Structure 1
Amino acid sequence: MTDQHEARAGHAEHRAAAPAGRSRGPVASFLRETAIILVSAVVLSWVVKTFLVQAFFIPSASMHDTLLEGDRVLVNKLAPGPFDLHRGDIVVFADPGGWLTDQDVPDTNALQDVLIVIGLMPQQSEDHLIKRVIGLPGDRVASAGDGSPVTVNGVAVDESAYLAPAPAPARSPST
């Protein structure tokens, strides 16, 4: 017998000696690999949502014309921190004063709640606000009210980029 024949014979004997319960069919292998991929995807999604980026629905009309109700935004969780905040940035933060108590928040079922926790579905934003940064620490923000401009450190803020254009005045027909 040649070495090659002995190796094949030894391999065949080894296969025959393996316990019947240890051999896996193609279906079992497929299910095992699918479970590994799904668990890995869920864990990766949760890590991304927890430490890097989180999705939110826009809950109210307070950011018109920039954002509309029902829009979705991705929030960078590394700011402030490695990335600095600047005037004009949009931020999401927990509602400190219960301002959203009268908001109509759609109900979610158990599956949607799980998807929200792991980051595969945007959070309903019932306890978060989304606003534009006007002033930074150390700035003095003021407004005289009634259409007066908001000022930061005494300089009026140009809000034309954020506000909807005013409608043109109606003209009365000439008689």
Structure 2
Amino acid sequence: MSYALVAALLIMLSGFSLYVYRLTMTIAGDREYIAGQRTQIMRLADDLNRKEAVLSVLGARRVEVVPMSGLGVDSAAYGTLFLDPDKKLGILHVSNLPLLPQDKEYQLWIFKEAKKVSAGTFSTTDDFEKENFYTLTPLEISGRREIDSVSVTAEPKGGSTQPTGVAYLLGSKPAQ
């Protein structure tokens, strides 16, 4: 075999190896891009589900509203509880609540007939582009008339069986 043929084969093999390497790198980059897109799709699907839940309550035949005001140091905070009494569903909108430490989260309480009933926990974000709407657990009430007041407190992560933390928001039904 001639040296020219061996040299040509080595050059072709080197070129092919370089081509395979670049192709492998392109495939790895594409896989990374696809994984990122899948994550984005899951995040968008989650956002869509939350927005559909909000629209479901806001679009109900009968929507009841309980405004909430900030307390104490955080008096700039406010919230609104939207209730669909027919389906016993609720949406909570909050604004200007401070970020809590990692081991705490907010918990919504419904006070009725001297009982304190948890309506779910939530954590706020400092991402101002996100909407601060939270879907509540199925409610044990059939509307505003059963509510004496509502409150948002800071509780240990996972929530409490009774309010133990500082209250940040308070709302009550209007006088009849």
Fold-level similarity (TM above 0.5): no
TM-score normalized by structure 2?
A: 0.32
Higher alpha-carbon Rg = 1
